[in-house]
Chains A and B, each alone.
Chain A
Amino acid sequence: MKIVACIKRVPTTEAQAKIAGDGKSLDNAGWQYMASFYDEIAVEQAILTKEKLGGEVTVVTLGPSAASKEVREFLARGADTGVILKDDHPSMRDPRATAKALAAKVKALGAEVVFVGRVATDRDHSAVGAMLATYLGWACVTEAIGLELSAGKGVAKRETEHGVETVEFSLPAVITCNKGLNEPRRASLKGIMAVKSKTIAEEAFENVAAQVTVSKVELPPARKAGRIVGEGAAAVPALIEALRGEARIL
């Protein structure tokens, strides 16, 4: 079975958010990058699927050449090949443009199942997976926390507000992966050494204009500093007063 996992290179959680000079993007000076948290789960599920049903895992990302670091990491964990759809301005892409580019590549690869993260931890759109399925005309299961695949079909579990839902679907399909679906493995030493002989292709993609563009970015308002109203039991009335009056939470 041909399996694809789509991943995105995002800033690490320690990256400081600072608005860039243009007022509509973030200043990325000094940022470090990683694969988006949920994409790790997507790749793990792809590798688990290969281990169970056989096949080949291709990791696809739309991003800069530097994303080869993240792709290599997944190759070291057990993915077979990596493809970078080379995009030097990934922040300009809206979910539709990204999904279109990925759909073309998935088709070309002849994949039968695609795993993506539930959401990319930088832009929080939660849209690419579903749009990708739409462009491919495939079944789409979002936010899976459990999955069983067999020939031509699958059963997934999804967590909703009201409980856990079990859904059946036919392949080909796009699965967006949620926390709890699996525990991503670490790269093994053998995997790391084997990466040297694996290729990461850089390819061009058909660049469609974004329909949604960012016009302005604002940082969330800074939280007000706390205030110590006093010490010990004697301070309780003042505290209650402050919680009622100022904070209005009592």
Chain B
Amino acid sequence: MQTETPSPYTLPEIKHGFDLTQDQAMIRDMVREFALAEVAPLAHEIDENHRFPEETWKKIVELGLPGIPFPEEYGGSNGGTLAYCLAVEELSRVCGSTGLTLAAHVSLGTFPIYKWGNERLKKAYVPKLIAGEYMGAYGLTEPNAGSDSGGTQTTAVKDGDHYVLNGAKCFITNANYAGTFICTAVTEPGIGAKGISAFVVPRDTKGFRIEKGEQKLGMRGSDWASLVFQDARIPKDHLLGPEGEGFKTFMKTLDGGRVSIAALSLGIAQGAYDVALAYAKEREAFGKHLSELQAVQFKLANMAMDIEASRHLVYHAARLKDANLPYAKEAAMAKLMASECSMRVTYDAIQIHGGYGYSREYPVERMWRDAKLCVIGEGTSEVQRMIISRNILRNS
């Protein structure tokens, strides 16, 4: 007998304290309510149609979510990294794509300008990015430089008051809706990473264009595209940070980005677990509910433990960042742990659902496809292990 698709509206309450402050808990609850009411109902459709839900983005902007970690003078609310991660987690719990949209916009598209931009760049772009006038994108990956981003091939040659960029970027999240693109290019060839600089590229730059992205396995409600530079002229003052420091800037950006991808992973895992738990309590086999079978109980126990451990790492990394303490290693650990947790948990969630889990009628197969991005984007699991081991060995 076909069991009815569990409505996301009935997902059980998450009962964990985790020492959140009042405002962190309120932000989490507010986003949770919003996610259940406005994001969950679209999750299946945007995945099916490979559609970026502009209407959802508008609501996210109205709620002020893009401004959570930024100060008030830029239109933000100064809520901190942890509160921002809670927002990403809650969105991702019902829709990974929507979590990714926010995470990429804030951590990759906005944060670098706020952190490393000169006053003019900051004033010109950060308030508009926070107010959602347009989105922000971040172009590091190239067709021939992904994990090995030091191997960037896009070039930037100084010409008077401008830099002239040539090259291409691929897999760039939010690109079709972005007003600014933070990109790396080689300003001094032959010296490796130290010859790479970062630029803020306005959308209307002559010689710059956006090309349609490929179909995706998961995160199909998140937008992506390729970027092409053909003698694109970028004003000199759109250099982000000093010349030759672009690679460093981008790596530091990714440290922060990783905490949000970790939160994204955590949300996906929590969502899959919630749905699997509810299903196990409903579905009967051999005259019992699945939840009464020890094999299923043990799966649920492992899932819950995995999520709990990930949550500790994710919140810990976010708190370190909020406290201005070094957090690169912890961010990589949180990202690695939570993303691999999201793969395990979504995989088991499908198993608990059996054939229904394999069908598109149930959300768990989507969650599994979405989770796969988490072990690739902002540094693959292999790259996270490289970062962690480098940090350990450097300090031992």
Which A residues lie at the B interface, using CB under 8 A? Answer: 14, 32, 72-73, 76, 186-190, 192-193, 195-196
Name the contact of B64 in the complex, choosing from A14, A32, A188 (C-beta under 8 A): A188
Can you list 26 A-B pairs, Cβ within 8 angstroms, ordered by A?
Answer: A14-B13, A32-B13, A32-B15, A72-B22, A76-B30, A186-B63, A187-B26, A187-B30, A188-B63, A189-B27, A189-B30, A189-B63, A189-B65, A189-B68, A189-B77, A190-B77, A192-B23, A192-B26, A192-B30, A192-B77, A192-B79, A193-B77, A193-B79, A195-B22, A195-B26, A196-B23
A-B contact count (CB 8 A): 42
Contacts of B15 in A (CB 8 A): 32
A142 to chain B, nearest CB (A): 29
**In the complex, what distance in Å separates the CA atom of A192 from the CA atom of B78?**
11
Please state if B79 and A186 are interface contacts (CB–CB under 8 Å). Answer: no
Contacts of A196 in B (CB 8 A): 22-23
**In the complex, what distance in Å separates the CA atom of A188 from the CA atom of B63?**
6
Which B residues lie at the A interface, using CB under 8 A? Answer: 13, 15, 22-23, 26-27, 30, 33-34, 63-65, 67-68, 77-79
Most buried by B among A72, A186, A190, A192: A192
Main secondary structure of the interface of B (DSSP, over half): helix
**In the complex, what distance in Å separates the CA atom of A192 from the CA atom of B15?**
21
Q: A193-B78, A193-B79 are in contact. Are A186 and B22 (CB under 8 A)?
A: no
Please state if A72 and B26 are interface contacts (CB–CB under 8 Å). Answer: yes
**In the complex, what distance in Å separates the CA atom of A72 from the CA atom of B68?**
19
Contacts of B26 in A (CB 8 A): 72-73, 76, 187, 192, 195
Please state if A189 and B13 are interface contacts (CB–CB under 8 Å). Answer: no
**In the complex, what distance in Å separates the CA atom of A132 from the CA atom of B77?**
39
Contacts of B79 in A (CB 8 A): 189, 192-193
Contacts of B30 in A (CB 8 A): 76, 186-187, 189, 192
A188 to chain B, nearest CB (A): 6
**In the complex, what distance in Å separates the CA atom of A195 from the CA atom of B29?**
15
Contacts of A188 in B (CB 8 A): 63-64
**In the complex, what distance in Å separates the CA atom of A193 from the CA atom of B68?**
10
B116 to chain A, nearest CB (A): 25
Contacts of A73 in B (CB 8 A): 26
Contacts of A187 in B (CB 8 A): 26, 30
Q: A72-B22, A72-B26, A76-B26 are in contact. Are A189 and B34 (CB under 8 A)?
A: no
Contacts of A190 in B (CB 8 A): 64, 77
A196 to chain B, nearest CB (A): 7
Name the contact of A189 in the complex, choosing from B22, B33, B67 (C-beta under 8 A): B67
Contacts of A195 in B (CB 8 A): 22-23, 26
Please state if A186 and B33 are interface contacts (CB–CB under 8 Å). Answer: yes
Contacts of B64 in A (CB 8 A): 188-190
A226 to chain B, nearest CB (A): 15
**In the complex, what distance in Å separates the CA atom of A63 from the CA atom of B336?**
45
**In the complex, what distance in Å separates the CA atom of A185 from the CA atom of B66?**
19
Contacts of A192 in B (CB 8 A): 23, 26-27, 30, 77, 79
Contacts of B22 in A (CB 8 A): 72, 195-196
Instruction: List 17 additional contacts besides A189-B63, A189-B68; criterion CB under 8 Å.
Output: A14-B13, A72-B22, A72-B26, A73-B26, A76-B30, A186-B33, A186-B34, A186-B63, A187-B26, A187-B30, A188-B63, A189-B64, A189-B65, A189-B77, A192-B26, A192-B27, A193-B23
Least CB separation from B62: chain A residue: A188
**In the complex, what distance in Å separates the CA atom of A14 from the CA atom of B12?**
10
**In the complex, what distance in Å separates the CA atom of A32 from the CA atom of B34?**
20
**In the complex, what distance in Å separates the CA atom of A14 from the CA atom of B64?**
30
**In the complex, what distance in Å separates the CA atom of A196 from the CA atom of B25?**
13
Least CB separation from A12: chain B residue: B13
What 6 A-B pairs have minimum CB-CB distances, sorted nearest first? A189-B64, A189-B77, A192-B26, A193-B77, A187-B30, A192-B23
**In the complex, what distance in Å separates the CA atom of A44 from the CA atom of B261?**
36
**In the complex, what distance in Å separates the CA atom of A11 from the CA atom of B247?**
53
A51 to chain B, nearest CB (A): 17
B66 to chain A, nearest CB (A): 10
A45 to chain B, nearest CB (A): 20
Most buried by B among A72, A189, A193: A189
Contacts of A186 in B (CB 8 A): 30, 33-34, 63
Contacts of A14 in B (CB 8 A): 13
Least CB separation from B67: chain A residue: A189
**In the complex, what distance in Å separates the CA atom of A188 from the CA atom of B67?**
12
B286 to chain A, nearest CB (A): 19
**In the complex, what distance in Å separates the CA atom of A195 from the CA atom of B34?**
20
Contacts of A193 in B (CB 8 A): 23, 77-79
**In the complex, what distance in Å separates the CA atom of A14 from the CA atom of B11?**
12
A186 to chain B, nearest CB (A): 6
**In the complex, what distance in Å separates the CA atom of A196 from the CA atom of B72?**
15
Contacts of B23 in A (CB 8 A): 192-193, 195-196
Most buried by A among B23, B63, B78: B23
B30 to chain A, nearest CB (A): 5
B71 to chain A, nearest CB (A): 11
